[in-house]
Amino acid sequence: MNSEEIKKDFPIFKNRDITYLDSGATAQRPQCVIDAIDKFYENKNANPHRGAYELSIEATEAYENTRDKVAKFINAAHKEEVIFTKNASEALNLIAYSYGLDNLNEGDKVVISIMEHHSNLVPWQFVTKKTGSKLEYMYINENYELSEEEIKSKITENTKIVGITHVSNVLGTINNIKEIIKYAHKMGAVVIADVSQSIPHMKIDVQDLDCDFLAFSGHKMLAPLGIGVLYGKKKILNNMNPFLMGGDMIEYVYEDKTTFAPLPNKFEAGTQNVEGAVGLGAAIDYIEKIGYDTIENIEKDILSYAKSELSKLDFVETYYTPNKENHSSVISFNIKGIHPHDLATILDSEKVAIRAGDHCAQPLIRYLNLPATCRASFYMYNTKEDVDKLINALKKAYNMFAKFIK
């Protein structure tokens, strides 16, 4: 399979004339995912877990099948280690509230990287302030990477929690999370891996990584909006208090006390997003059908083509690591003298969709000393033609502005 063939599976590219380079924000959906959701509503819709009748049982099965699928997909040891959430943000907040608040004390440290998305940063500001613990950052070097010295100087004996993104949504840097996890464990910390930007592109194996928690959103990996996954080691999840409370997450409720359901239901209060889960299941099937090897090959090609074409434009400034093997699917750039938002507007007029702004990573953008960046992000359906359109649109933008740049 090549990206031209894959593109045909995505109806939006038939319906809209668009060069879509914003998959880092959300991916497009293949027909099979859209169909799976339709079929669920046409044949199986009922409230899961709540009916003694066949239809409800089938809805429950559809939901739980995806849990099995996700568990296999990320190689979890137990299916109940997979908790469905709304998105990565909710998964990360769940960890911060249900684990962080109860396990941090004065003098403890939470260590995260300066590359974190706000969703793996703001909750830790809140929780460290609440508990009197300290939030520390691991900073990047001139290659936009975390050096081993930096990691080892920040993760120390009093570090209780480490939060780290696998791939930076701004820089595309792939962090060596396996090594970070190993070192953090040696120091006695638990580690949260945010794989939102990596799982669409590369195989994730939670047992191989040995992460304690892991979070991602379905919508960046071809699944519908509104479904995400929290993975946690069973032993840790069992000892945590619930995050949201209400229906379905209980065992017995008395007027004055409640016992909670076992995993995974303990963390899934209320009627769940079965449509989302079903769509996520179909997305996993699709990714496995294409195969991560193929996806990686396509993306490697497209990324190196994009980098080489961008490097020919002397008015473009890019921000990514020179170490090819540590770079995934995202290129941030600026044109000197043109604000990223103006550039995005001009590219939009050429039907090229990129993102401009702080990418929900303001501390990183500030650390880079930039006002904002433009970001092109790629996925399995992006072709060289997409890159060519980006390059032409950039030339047009530059020409529009060049005569005024003094």
Contact 299, 201 (CB under 8 A): yes
Examine residue 254 and tell whether it contacts another protein (CB under 8 A). Answer: no
Least distance to another protein from the beta carbon of 392, Å?
A: 15
- Choose between 226 and 357: whose C-beta lies nearer to Zn ion: 357
Least CB distance to Zn ion at residue 341 (A): 5
Q: Which does 110 bind (CB under 5 to 8 A by kind): ligand PLP, Zn ion, another protein, none?
A: none
Give the active site residue among 32, 211, 360, 374: 360
357, 118 Cβ separation under 8 angstroms: no
| Cα dihedral sign, 339-340-342-343 | positive
Site for another protein in 175-204 (CB under 8 A): none
CA distance to 32, 127, 181, 184, per residue, from 159 (Å): 44, 14, 12, 8
Residue 334 in tokens: 């600026």
Residue 53 CA: distances (Å) to CA of 40, 47, 50:
16, 10, 9
User: What are the E-state strand segments in 154-289?
Assistant: 159-165, 190-194, 213-217, 228-232, 250-253, 258-260
> Contact between 194 and ligand PLP (CB under 6 A)?
yes
Q: How many CA atoms lie within 13 A of 254 on its CB side?
A: 4
Q: Please tell me the distance from the alpha carbon of residue 287 to that of residue 290, in angstroms, as a whole number.
A: 5
Q: Point out which residues bind Zn ion (CB under 5 A).
A: 341
Footprint of another protein on 316-375 (CB under 8 A): 337-342, 344-346, 348-349, 357-358, 371-372
DSSP at 312: T
String marking each residue 55-94 x if it binds ligand PLP according to CB under 6 A: --------------------------------xxx-----
Which stretches of 16-147 are DSSP H helices?
31-43, 54-73, 88-94, 101-103, 122-131
Indicate the residue among 202 and 368 with the shorter CB distance to another protein.
368
Residue 136 or 342 with smaller CB distance to Zn ion: 342
374 in active site: no
Whichever of 88 and 261 has its CB closer to ligand PLP, that residue is 88
Q: Does 216 bind another protein (CB under 8 A)?
A: no
Q: Which residues bind another protein (CB under 8 A)?
A: 337-342, 344-346, 348-349, 357-358, 371-372, 400-401, 404-406
Catalytic annotation, residues:
360
Q: Which residues bind ligand PLP (CB under 6 A)?
A: 87-89, 117, 119-120, 165, 169, 194, 196-197, 217, 360
